[in-house]
Structure 1
Amino acid sequence: MVDPPIFGSFCASMVVLSLLRLSSAGDTLSSVQSIKEGETLVSQGRKFELGFFRAGSSKNTFLGIWFAVSPEAVVWVANRNSPLNDSNGTLKISNEGELVLLNQSKSIIWSTNSTKVLGNPVAQLLDSGNLLVLRESSSSGSVDYSWQSFDYPSDTILVGMTLGWNLRTGIEHHLTSWRSTEDPSPGDYTYRYKIDRLPPQLEMVSKGSVKVYRTGPWDGVKLGGLSLGVNPFINPVFVYNATDAYFAFETEITARSRLSPDGVMQLHILLNGSTKWYLTYSLPNDPCDNYGRCGANGMCRLNEIPRCLCLEGFTPKSREEWDMHNSTEGCIKKIPSNCSRDEDFKKLSQVKLPDLVDFELFKNMSLEECRIECLKDCSCTAYANSDIRGAGCLMWFGDLIDTREIDAVDNGQYLFLRLPASKLDSIRSPSKKLLTITVPSAILGLLIMGMALSIIWKRGMKKRGLPSEMDDIDLPLYDFATVAVATNHFAEENKLGAGGFGSVYKGSLTTGQEVAVKRLSKYSGQGLNEFMNEVLLIARLQHRNLVGLVGCCIEGEERMLIYEFMPNKSLDYFIFDHDRSSSFEWKKRFDIISGIARGLLYLHQDSKLKVIHRDLKTSNILLDADMNPKISDFGLARNFQGNETEAKTRRIVGTYGYMSPEYAFDEKFSVKSDIFSFGVLLLEIVSSKRNRGFQHPDHHHNLLGHAWLLWSEGRATELIDESLCDSVVGSQAERCIQVGLLCVQKFPEDRPTMSSVVFMLANEGATLPLPKEPGFFLERSSGSSDASIVNEASYTFNVITVTLPVGR
């Protein structure tokens, strides 16, 4: 950073412009006027000027706005994507009331394209640098405009502009660099206020997906980790509320903040009476600002040698690379987490919190509750307070990316890093160390007592008919009488639903906890093996996007699973009902998609068991009170051992419409079978239509085929549920459709892994591969809306049967 008292010399790389100016009009363009090359508009106070220019030696011409006293400082360009290659451009107001730019043949190459129509429109350039299309002045003095240039920034922010979102209109303001100093067309770098993941943060990316820099997340008052230094001229503004989310700056002097073609955010000021710009600040500002400078689980320290250090409890992934000062490969855990009660957290002070890659936000959770919940989840690696003013919990799962020390006291935050007991000994207080020395004798006595109780408990298990696999599962066992009382003796009014397995009842335990009791029917095709499969698997799987198992009951012929109660039922209850679907806005749907993806990633990769669900569908996605998705029903699930990647079953199980081709035809299943089901589910969420039974007047394809046809013709957005028109983020929905099509490709090897799916969903700028034809992409007979490619007589669908029923 350049020291503020002496601003330093201005970079010589500033654009040298050739202005095509002969005469200046006023600040307003009426419907009977036009501006040609060589003519300009000048704001009333003569601060800004609008006209045609050429950048450097380029022969292309652009319409732009620049500082009147500094013509080389262009702040806005209209036709960035459509340069004029001749000298006959014309700016005028069309008969429709839009501001249009015409080329030599009078074709429109750029327009304001506003949906609002005004009577007697004029274009006016203000002293703020804002160009407006507004109604010609009336006696009322009110300003009614249909379009403004401040809503469509190029590479520069001025005072009065914002970088972020107007949440009422859905308009986003972000910056895109020039291609080069001689080419104002959109370049490789973008700088934007990301709100698709809460809390929001500012991010700079290169070539659409590669992160270059980011601030820390919003901490309730400001953007964490953003140190703008001591600058007497500039006052940064941070806003995040129900209607706005943006960053801006205030100043009494002339200033501009510009994203350079080489990806540096620069703040320039112009002192009174001077025509020379001074660079006062730039981002990235120091080596630690470079995104992921020290790799995964590394800490960047600006004033230390070496600069990169592994977080405590981690070691370099490649010691050889690390010793050569190449830390990009990052660090890995020395001792994998075993979820023991001896684990706890070390408090790291004054840090920029890690990137929001795999995380969860709980707005109303206290810091202590956050600690407890993080300890419960084996995959939770760290937590922090999301709002420095009070409640709010952020939890990270997996690697911690882009963590750094912060010098400025008011911009750093606390991060609580999960560590095993052996690593925490050095930070325990003397009293705790003394306690560690004195309690073993007491523990020994408790162990002896525990062994005796264990023997008694196991005998009780055998009497109840529970297998020995339950020995190492810490799961409460309830007797039949307790469950009967909790459900009011399985009263009909407490019945939540039913299926091939039996019925589900709402209940309330004596502790007051609400539960859902899954009671197997005596006539169910599901037996003890399948029941135990679900118990053993879900009791060992702990993740915020998997349904929680409270306990079970086996007594006589009764077999019951007791789950945490999900007040918002299942996903299909909302998206396939017209009225409920219309109120199910896009952000809620995308959060659910992301949550399901994270839960599936945990099953496939991050849990101790490698689990294939085999029956992923909308009815098996339950929603809690906050509409967080929970994957449920593990009766058909199968876990893989070691390097096992594929298995073959003797009998097809699951639900038609969600099955992958290799499973339905060849009886083979793998993690790619689940990914196919996820793709179906994703397309159903976007469209609010079922894959099975889908009908269209123009063809007889299922939903997958319909989505493929639309995508192939460049009409993917037509798949989006019409009720989402007011809430949908178009680019996000299109990304979901493309990811869904990638997941349902015919051949398993073409489908992405869940880690790739999570990355593609979370990174809007990431470049996605092109999908190939989906599985089951064949015309059905027009005589039946429910016709299938497979011969249903040859398979058994929705049968509760598994090949290897016991989770290991």
Structure 2
Amino acid sequence: MGTHKRNPVFLLLASLTFLLFSFAQFCRAVNDTIRQGETIRDGHILKSENNYFQLGFFSPVNSTSRYVGIWYTFDQKAVVWVANRNSPISDRNGVLRIEVEGNLVLRDGNNNLVWLAPVSSLANNTAARLHNSGNFVLSRNDSIDDSDANTALWESFSNPTDTFLPGMRVPVSSKLGVSKPYRSWKSATDPSPGNYSMGVDPNGGQQIVIWGKEGRRWRSGQWNLQFFIGIPYMSNNVSSFHGFKISLPDETGTMYITYKPPTQDLFRFVISWEGKERQLKWDDDKKWLPLQSEPDPDNKCELYNYCGNYATCDRSNSRRICNCLEGFKPKFQDQWDQENWSAGCERKIQLQCQSTNRTSRENGKPDGFKKLKCTKLPDLATLLPSEENSEACGKRCLENCQCKAYAFVTGIRCMVWTGDLIDMQHFQQFQQAGNFQFFYRLHHSELDGGRKISNLVIVIICVVVACFLVASLWLLWRYKKKVKVSSMPCCKDDDVEIFDVSKSKRKEFSADLSGPSDILIDENQDNGPELPIFNFSVVAAATKNFYEGNKLGQGGFGAVYKGELPGGKEIAVKRLSGKSGQGLEEFKTEIILIARLQHRNLVRLLGCSIQGEEKLLIYEYMPNKSLDNLLFDATKKAELGWRTRLNIIEGIARGLLYLHRDSRLRIIHRDLKASNILLDAEMNPKISDFGMARMFQGNQNEANTVRVVGT
């Protein structure tokens, strides 16, 4: 009887004990620390005190393999560290724990060792804590709350995978040599070590380098105490990168690159599995935004020494991205003509100091230097910090015949190059402290603009020029032709680049149009903006004879090509296909409408050209192409944030409001779609393609059409 009375008490105590144990296990699952004898099983996590980071087991997308890693609480796909990236666990029985000897280990369900934190010395009483910075630190139990890295027995920050986080320290030392602490994932879903690594090369000025299987793939340029001079957007946005610092050398001569964010925002720097260095910031829109424009996969200039030695790579040059330095020529011209630039360039004239003729070497005019601006400095420089200014640096280089070039950069001081000049890139602009000057060595005759011309040749040239001027003046007096710019399109061929159309021809031209003609004969319209007529040969030359590589897109009425006029202005040329449904009527309609309509959200027509069956429209060039290229591309549509989308919507609405209500005539586009919305460099929308448009009288509200058109 007494035994039965005690059973409920015993059961109650047992239940309380079980609940307390379970509560302790639960508390441990959300704690930021694991102590000796404790474990983290698959399904349990550690959380940093600020709840920014979590540590536990995870599986990549489309994978059943289990890894121990650290990720952001608000974005579990953003994994910043992986422990067992070489040894995944095949089931969910893995255990992370601190064993009796004090070491941090990962074991699978069969108690096999999968991963071990490498430490130089152990302590019997240890603990591991996930800090607010995302650093997982193993230290003695009595110093577990100490953030000083010197007290750590082991830390994830010193054993990174593919991500650099604020608070990490990257060692830089000429004695230690090149450091490659960051290794990419093998693929987007495989965290095992990939094909690319990222680190710091301390030789010739500290710079970040990405290596591939065949060696260097990309480099940042040298550090000038403010930013890396080979990354132009860093110089233009120094505030975002102010957190980068390089410490003073310690007792071993080692310096450390660190990053402290200038704001409370979250930042991370990743070497992606494709070999790209990405710099990301967590945005208010709850997504990672790049600190700079996303790398352009078609930008070959980012590839290391893409143009070869003694050549610069310029992605803005639409004709040829690789160009030899002045005074140099392609090493193999036939390969150069086939756009194979890997062999690079060689000197046209040997340097004076290298001449085999001793008399010429000693008595001839010395070599000099050519100045070059807005250029990513070559790789493999030698530092001469003792030289205090550019003049002293240049003199030091001139004294050494092996010196090919020099530069004096604030924060780095004197830099000289005794080897080949490699991996040079031209930038459109390089602001702030990056606006340094680079000087490379040339034979003196190259600096004088070529060999001296004899006096006889000069006299002959002067006589020829004088005769030419006299003949030109006589022709001007004889013919007295005036060059006028036409204000409306014309439908005939001409031999000049631009010509005029009389008002009578305009009226005759307007008579062929369907719909109201008062857009042409209105008394105010004749005083409207003038429209140049271009010769077909000029447009063909601007587009490289409609080269397929310049093709921007293909529409129902023909192709659109990118071109460049002799003055350097970029244009977009719409070449109407003879097989298209758009004939001369639609062609005239589009010319008249766009030429007369002036609004910031309507594409601007620069001119037109007609020769035989060829009908060309010349527009302003829109670098971001059409809206459909972004909307329907899985990778590019990420560039369209909600603010940008709203601005595009508002711009389209403003353009339509102008067409429907505010312009002199009511105009209905009838073919409005994403491919007919063009985007300029600032992502401002502009409505284009008015070939289907219909014009109405100012007081007209409806009309009938005789055929089906539009989208």
CA drift of 1:83 comes to 1.7
CA drift of 1:390 comes to 7.8
Tell me what 2:416 maps to: 394
Name the aligned partner's letter for residue 288 of structure 2. W
Q: Distance in 1 between matches of 2:147 and 2:373?
A: 51
Could you say if the C-alpha distance between residues 417 and 198 of structure 1 is closer, same or farther in structure 2, counting changes exceeding 3 Å?
A: closer
Tell me what 1:408 maps to: 430
CA contact 2:397–2:416 (8 Å) conserved in 1: no
CA contact 1:265–1:282 (8 Å) conserved in 2: no
CA contact 2:306–2:423 (8 Å) conserved in 1: no
Whether 1:198 and 2:211 are equivalent positions in the alignment is no
Tell me what 1:268 maps to: 280
Q: Distance in 2 between matches of 1:173 and 1:253?
A: 27
Tell me what 1:281 maps to: 292
Whether 1:154 and 2:177 are equivalent positions in the alignment is no
Q: Over residues 647-672 of structure 1, what are the superposed CA-to-partner deviations in whole Å (9 max), with x where a residue is unaligned?
A: xxxxxxxxxxxxxxxxxxxxxxxxxx
Q: Distance in 1 between matches of 2:245 and 2:231?
A: 11
Counterpart selection for 1:95 from 100, 108, 126: 100
CA contact 2:102–2:123 (8 Å) conserved in 1: yes
Q: Over residues 435-468 of structure 1, what are the superposed CA-to-partner deviations in whole Å (9 max), with x where a residue is unaligned?
A: xx9xxxxxxxxxxxxxxxxxxxxxxxxxxxxxxx
CA drift of 1:422 comes to 1.2
CA contact 1:352–1:403 (8 Å) conserved in 2: yes
Whether 1:109 and 2:122 are equivalent positions in the alignment is no
Q: Over residues 102-161 of structure 1, what are the superposed CA-to-partner deviations in whole Å (9 max), with x where a residue is unaligned?
A: 123323221112113345211111121111112335799786321111111111122222
Q: Distance in 2 between matches of 1:378 and 1:139?
A: 59
Q: Distance in 2 between matches of 1:337 and 1:81?
A: 53
CA contact 1:294–1:330 (8 Å) conserved in 2: yes
Name the aligned partner's letter for residue 264 of structure 2. E
Tell me the SS of whatever aligns to 1:228: helix
Q: Distance in 1 between matches of 2:179 and 2:306?
A: 29
CA contact 2:403–2:416 (8 Å) conserved in 1: no
CA contact 2:125–2:140 (8 Å) conserved in 1: yes
Q: Distance in 2 between matches of 1:336 and 1:415?
A: 20
CA contact 1:338–1:378 (8 Å) conserved in 2: no
Name the aligned partner's letter for residue 266 of structure 1. R
Name the aligned partner's letter for residue 419 of structure 1. L
CA drift of 1:284 comes to 5.1
Tell me what 2:383 maps to: 361
Tell me the SS of whatever aligns to 1:281: coil
Matched ranges for 1:374-385 at <5 A: 374-385=397-408
Could you say if the C-alpha distance between residues 121 and 263 of structure 1 is closer, same or farther in structure 2, counting changes exceeding 3 Å?
A: same
Q: Distance in 1 between matches of 2:41 and 2:174?
A: 37
Q: Distance in 2 between matches of 1:233 and 1:381?
A: 35
Q: Over residues 86-109 of structure 1, what are the superposed CA-to-partner deviations in whole Å (9 max), with x where a residue is unaligned?
A: 322111112222211112332322
Q: Over residues 327-357 of structure 1, what are the superposed CA-to-partner deviations in whole Å (9 max), with x where a residue is unaligned?
A: 222111111223144311112122211010x
CA drift of 1:372 comes to 3.3
Could you say if the C-alpha distance between residues 45 and 173 of structure 1 is closer, same or farther in structure 2, counting changes exceeding 3 Å?
A: farther
Q: Distance in 1 between matches of 2:272 and 2:282?
A: 18
Name the aligned partner's letter for residue 259 of structure 2. A
Whether 1:61 and 2:83 are equivalent positions in the alignment is no
Could you say if the C-alpha distance between residues 240 and 31 of structure 1 is closer, same or farther in structure 2, counting changes exceeding 3 Å?
A: closer
Matched ranges for 1:723-762 at <5 A: none
Q: Distance in 2 between matches of 1:253 and 1:219?
A: 25
Q: Over residues 278-321 of structure 1, what are the superposed CA-to-partner deviations in whole Å (9 max), with x where a residue is unaligned?
A: 33436756543221122111012243333221101101122233
Could you say if the C-alpha distance between residues 247 and 348 of structure 1 is closer, same or farther in structure 2, counting changes exceeding 3 Å?
A: farther
CA drift of 1:169 comes to 10
Tell me what 1:640 maps to: none
Tell me the SS of whatever aligns to 2:395: helix
Could you say if the C-alpha distance between residues 165 and 361 of structure 1 is closer, same or farther in structure 2, counting changes exceeding 3 Å?
A: closer
CA drift of 1:221 comes to 4.8
Q: Distance in 2 between matches of 1:281 and 1:148?
A: 30
Counterpart selection for 1:188 from 192, 195, 204: 195
Tell me what 1:538 maps to: none
Name the aligned partner's letter for residue 111 of structure 2. K
CA drift of 1:46 comes to 1.3
Matched ranges for 1:317-716 at <5 A: 317-339=331-353, 340=361, 341-356=365-380, 359-366=381-388, 367-385=390-408, 387-389=409-411, 391-405=413-427, 407-409=429-431, 410-426=433-449
Identity %: 32
Tell me what 1:292 maps to: 305
Q: Distance in 2 between matches of 1:158 and 1:189?
A: 18
Q: Distance in 2 between matches of 1:361 and 1:139?
A: 43
Tell me the SS of whatever aligns to 2:434: coil
Tell me the SS of whatever aligns to 2:280: strand
Name the aligned partner's letter for residue 194 of structure 1. D
Q: Distance in 2 between matches of 1:390 and 1:49?
A: 40
Name the aligned partner's letter for residue 302 of structure 2. D
Q: Distance in 1 between matches of 2:242 and 2:206?
A: 20
Q: Distance in 1 between matches of 2:412 and 2:106?
A: 52
Aligned-residue CA RMSD (Å): 3.4
Matched ranges for 1:180-259 at <5 A: 180-195=187-202, 197-207=203-213, 209-219=214-224, 221-229=226-234, 235-239=242-246, 241-243=248-250, 244-246=255-257, 248=259, 250=261, 251-259=263-271
CA drift of 1:427 comes to 10
CA contact 1:315–1:331 (8 Å) conserved in 2: yes
Tell me the SS of whatever aligns to 2:232: coil
Tell me what 1:659 maps to: none
CA drift of 1:68 comes to 0.7
Tell me the SS of whatever aligns to 2:401: coil
CA drift of 1:218 comes to 3.0
Tell me the SS of whatever aligns to 1:192: strand
Tell me what 2:136 maps to: 131
Q: Distance in 2 between matches of 1:98 and 1:171?
A: 30
Tell me what 2:42 maps to: 37
Q: Distance in 2 between matches of 1:276 and 1:36?
A: 30
CA contact 1:48–1:127 (8 Å) conserved in 2: yes
CA contact 1:347–1:415 (8 Å) conserved in 2: yes
**Matched positions, count:** 406
Q: Over residues 663-702 of structure 1, what are the superposed CA-to-partner deviations in whole Å (9 max), with x where a residue is unaligned?
A: xxxxxxxxxxxxxxxxxxxxxxxxxxxxxxxxxxxxxxxx
Q: Which has the higher contact order (CA 8 A, sep 6+)?
A: 1
Could you say if the C-alpha distance between residues 97 and 228 of structure 1 is closer, same or farther in structure 2, counting changes exceeding 3 Å?
A: farther
Q: Distance in 1 between matches of 2:144 and 2:77?
A: 38
Name the aligned partner's letter for residue 212 of structure 2. S
Could you say if the C-alpha distance between residues 364 and 139 of structure 1 is closer, same or farther in structure 2, counting changes exceeding 3 Å?
A: closer
Q: Distance in 2 between matches of 1:247 and 1:406?
A: 30
Tell me the SS of whatever aligns to 1:304: coil
Q: Distance in 2 between matches of 1:222 and 1:307?
A: 26
CA drift of 1:378 comes to 3.2
CA contact 1:266–1:282 (8 Å) conserved in 2: no
Q: Distance in 1 between matches of 2:117 and 2:174?
A: 21
Tell me what 1:470 maps to: none
Q: Distance in 1 between matches of 2:415 and 2:290?
A: 38
CA contact 1:212–1:291 (8 Å) conserved in 2: yes
CA contact 1:352–1:406 (8 Å) conserved in 2: no
Name the aligned partner's letter for residue 381 of structure 1. K
Tell me the SS of whatever aligns to 1:348: strand
CA drift of 1:371 comes to 2.8
Tell me what 2:329 maps to: 315
CA contact 2:311–2:323 (8 Å) conserved in 1: yes
Tell me the SS of whatever aligns to 1:426: coil
CA contact 2:312–2:425 (8 Å) conserved in 1: yes
Tell me the SS of whatever aligns to 1:422: helix
Could you say if the C-alpha distance between residues 249 and 45 of structure 1 is closer, same or farther in structure 2, counting changes exceeding 3 Å?
A: closer
CA drift of 1:60 comes to 2.0
